[in-house]
Structure 1
C-alpha cells in the first residue's frame, strides 16, 4: 500500500501559530526541522513551507493558502505539547479525499495511537523525519517505511522505529530559500537566524522528554560543518544574531573549542546564543573565555532549582556549587544569562523553596529569569509519578503551557503553584536592580544592540510585559491569583 496511488507533486509543511500565554509568544525562531525535511525532498517535489507563527496567520489564513497551493501531502509540525490541539484543528479543516495529513514532532512521537483516533490524521512520523519523509514521497510501500504509525483496515499499525541518523553531516543544509520574503525572525526584536549543531542530550532529567525522543543518544555535526553553515549566514547577512538551537550545545567542550577556533580563523563576526548545562561551565572556564571572544554573548541555562534535593529528584546531575560558580564565570566574561527555573521541582516542595529561589536569583544576578511550573510532558518519568500518586489534574494538552499548573503536589495545590510562579516573576523583574545587566549588554553588544533592534516594538512589548507583572502584583495583594477561576486571566 502506498500513501497515495497517484504521483506526489506538491508538499506543504506547516509550523502552527499556537499561543502559549507566556513571554515566548513574542519570540519567532526559524523552523529548521521543516526546512531540513524540505531540503531532503526538493529534488523530488515542489515544497512550500507555511510558518504561521512568524507570519501571525490564523487557521483561516492557512486554509486559504492550502486552497491556492493544492498540496498532495500536508505535513504539520508539533514539537510543543500545548500546540497539538491547534495542529489538529488545522488538520481537520485541511483534510480532503485527495490529500494526506501527516503529523510529526516531539508530541506526536509519544502519543501516535491517540492522534490516529482522529479520522483526519493519516500518518504519524515518529522520531527523526528526514529519511522517513523522503521514503513517503518516493512512493515506498507504507508497510516497509520505518518510523511511522498509520491506519489500515480500521487498525492502527506502528511500524518498527527508524534507526537514528548516524552521521548528521550527511543532512543537507536547511532550505532557508523557502522562507517567505519579508519574514522577520526575532528574539525580543533582535533579528535572528538559527543553526543546529547536535541532536539529543546525554542526560536524563525526569521532567524532560528530549532524551527519550532521541533514545538517549547524543550526536553532533562536525565543527567544520557547523562553522561552514555559520559562514554562509555571515556572508549572506553580515553581522546578525544566530541561535544555536541544540538542547545542550556545550555537552562536548572539545568540539565547542574547535568551533570557536574555526569561527575566529574564518573571520566570522556573528552574535551567538546557545543553551548550556552549568557544570561544564565551571569545569571549562578557559573555553568560556574563547566562546566570548568568538561572539557568544548570551547563554540560556537550565538552573531548574537551588534546592539540592530537588536537583537530585529531577536527576539533574549537578551540584549547587556548579550553578553559583558557573553564573560567576559567565558574568566575568560579560555573557548575559537567561536562567530557567522550575516551580514545583519535587513532590514535596513548599512555598519556602520558591522564596529561597527568588532570593538567590536576585543575589547572584540572573539577568533574565524565566520561571515555569514543572509540567508532566508525555513520556516523562515525572508524568508517570504524578499519575501513580493521583496528582495529575488535567489531560487537556492545551493547558500544558508551563504557566498553568496541570497537577498538584503533596503540599501545594494547583492555585498555589500558579501563585508562586506569578510571585517569582514579580520579584524577578520589579524588585531588583538592572544596573549590572545593562552594563553587560552595553559591554558585550554596544550600539549594535540598538542598531539591530526594532526599538519601538521592544518598548511596546516591554511595557506589555511589565503591565502584566503589575497585574500580577495586584493579584498577589488582593489574593485573586489564589482563586482557581482567576488564574487563567494572567499572562506572562
Structure 2
C-alpha cells in the first residue's frame, strides 16, 4: 500500500515490502508474477495502477495491508474491479488476519475474492494452484474464499517451515526507488516471531508466541541477492532479533566472515537483549550495523507494568551505554498516552531521551489495535476516542485519551515536546494524508 507511517520522512526513507517479495519467490515457477509496490507511486497512484493492469493483464491481484492501510486496499480493490471485473483479488497482511470475520461479514469484503490469514507463502501458492484446477478450495488452510455471495473460512494454517521457503524475488519489481539517506535500501529477515507478552502488540495473532529462525547459510544467500540488486543499506525486519542474543552474536560474526560487513544495517532490538551482553554491541558494530531502533517504550514503571514490559529502566540505561560506546545510532521507541498520563509524564519521557542522548525519537501515541489486550483495557475504561476509523491507527494520531488529557491534548503535547527536545523535528515534513486519487 502507498500509506506510510508519517514519523518516517519519505524524503529519506522508502523501504520495499518484503512480504510480497517473499510471496513471489514461493509460488510455482511457471506462474508469471510482477510486484507493484505502491509506496513508490504515492503521488501518481490511480494512473499507475491503471497502467500496470493494462500492461500486465493479471488474472489475480494480491493486496497486502496493515490496519491503517486497509481502507486504501479496499478502495484500490474497488478501482481495479472497475477496470476489469474478471480480475480476482486476494487480501492479506495483518489486518486481514486479525479482522477476516468482520471484513467477510460486512460490505468491506465486497471487492475481495479471497482473504489470506496468517503467513501467506503457502496459502497464496495454493490459491494459484486451485485457480488452475489443481486442488480444491476447501482444502486450503488459512484461506477464506467467496461462495454464493458470502465467505467460507477454512481451517487455520500451521506456521511456515522457514527451512523450506525460497528467497524473495527482487528481480520482478516493476519500479525502483527504495532508499535510505540517498542509498539503495532493501529488506532481509533472519527470523520470525516473538515470545514476549507485550499487550499493545498484535504480532502474536500472526505468529503466536513463537520464534523461528532461518539458517545462516540462507541469510547469507539473501544478503548476496540483495547486494546483487544494488542494496547498500539492509533493514533486518525481524520482530525481535535480540530474543536469542547468542544467535545474534553469531549472526554478526557470520556477516563479517562472509564479507557482508561492507553493507550498512538497521535493526530493531529490545533493551533487555542489548543490555544482556557486553560484547553484542561490539559485534554489531563490526558487522556493519549502524542504526538500532531500540524498544525503550516508556520510562514510567507504572506504564511499563501496564504494557506487560516489567521494570526495565536500568536495562534501558545499560543498553544505551553499550550502543553509544560502539558508535551505534539509536532510534528510541517511545509510547505515550497511557491511562494515567498527565503532561508531566509526557515530558518525563522526552527529558529522559534528551539526557540519554538518544539520536532520533521514534515516539508514538498508544494505539488500540484490533484484537490486542491493550485495546480491551482502554475500551473497558472508556479511553478510546476513535474505535473504528482505522486510517488513523498509525501511531501518529491520538485515538485515545487519558484520565487527565484529551486526544487533542495528547496530539499537542507530542508536538510540543518533540519540538523542544528533538533536533530531528525540524527536518521532518508536515504529514499529508492525501494520495493522488
| TM-score clears 0.5 | yes
CA distance in 2, matches of 1:415, 1:283: 39
Q: Tell me the equivalent position of 2:316.
A: 323
Q: Tell me the equivalent position of 2:64.
A: 77
Structure 2 counterpart SS, 1:111: helix
**RMSD (Å) for aligned C-alpha atoms:** 2.2
**8 Å CA contact 1:223, 1:258 repeated in 2:** no
Q: Tell me the equivalent position of 2:88.
A: 100
Higher relative contact order (CA 8 A, sep 6+): 2
Select which of 14, 23, 41 maps to 2:8: 23
Q: Is residue 2:396 matched to residue 1:403?
A: yes
CA distance in 2, matches of 1:21, 1:287: 31
Q: In the TM superposition, what is the alpha-carbon distance from 1:228 to its structure 2 partner?
A: 2.7
Q: Tell me the equivalent position of 1:174.
A: 168
**8 Å CA contact 2:296, 2:334 repeated in 1:** yes
**8 Å CA contact 1:224, 1:262 repeated in 2:** no
Q: Tell me the equivalent position of 1:312.
A: 305
Q: Tell me the equivalent position of 2:143.
A: 148
Structure 2 counterpart SS, 1:299: strand
Q: Residues 199, 299 of structure 1: CA spacing in aligned structure 2 closer, same or farther, 3 A cutoff?
A: same
1:333-372 aligned within 5 A: 333-344=326-337, 346-372=338-364
Q: Greater CA radius of gyration, 1 or 2?
A: 1
Q: Tell me the equivalent position of 1:90.
A: 76
Structure 2 counterpart SS, 1:410: coil
Q: Deviations over 1:86-115 (max 9, x none)?
A: 111100111243121110000111111232
Q: Tell me the equivalent position of 1:285.
A: 278
**8 Å CA contact 2:115, 2:145 repeated in 1:** yes
TM-score (norm. length: structure 2): 0.91
CA distance in 2, matches of 1:318, 1:100: 49
Where do 5+ consecutive residues of structure 2 fail to align? none
Q: In the TM superposition, what is the alpha-carbon distance from 1:246 to its structure 2 partner?
A: 0.8
Q: Tell me the equivalent position of 1:448.
A: none
Q: Is residue 2:52 matched to residue 1:65?
A: yes
**8 Å CA contact 2:240, 2:268 repeated in 1:** yes
Q: Residues 488, 228 of structure 1: CA spacing in aligned structure 2 closer, same or farther, 3 A cutoff?
A: closer
Select which of 21, 27, 33 maps to 1:35: 21
Q: Tell me the equivalent position of 2:124.
A: 133
Q: Deviations over 1:42-97 (max 9, x none)?
A: 5131111111112434123212321332211111010x211111111100111243
**8 Å CA contact 2:34, 2:174 repeated in 1:** no
How many residues are aligned here?
421
Structure 1 counterpart SS, 2:400: coil
Q: Is residue 2:31 matched to residue 1:45?
A: yes
1:107-122 aligned within 5 A: 107-116=95-104, 117=106, 118-122=109-113
CA distance in 2, matches of 1:253, 1:138: 40
**8 Å CA contact 1:20, 1:82 repeated in 2:** no
**8 Å CA contact 1:115, 1:121 repeated in 2:** no
Q: In the TM superposition, what is the alpha-carbon distance from 1:488 to its structure 2 partner?
A: 9.6
Select which of 176, 179, 189 maps to 1:186: 179
* Larger mean Cα displacement after TM superposition, 57-66 or 81-90: 57-66
1:357-396 aligned within 5 A: 357-394=349-386, 395-396=388-389
1:291-302 aligned within 5 A: 291-302=284-295
1:151-166 aligned within 5 A: 151-166=146-161
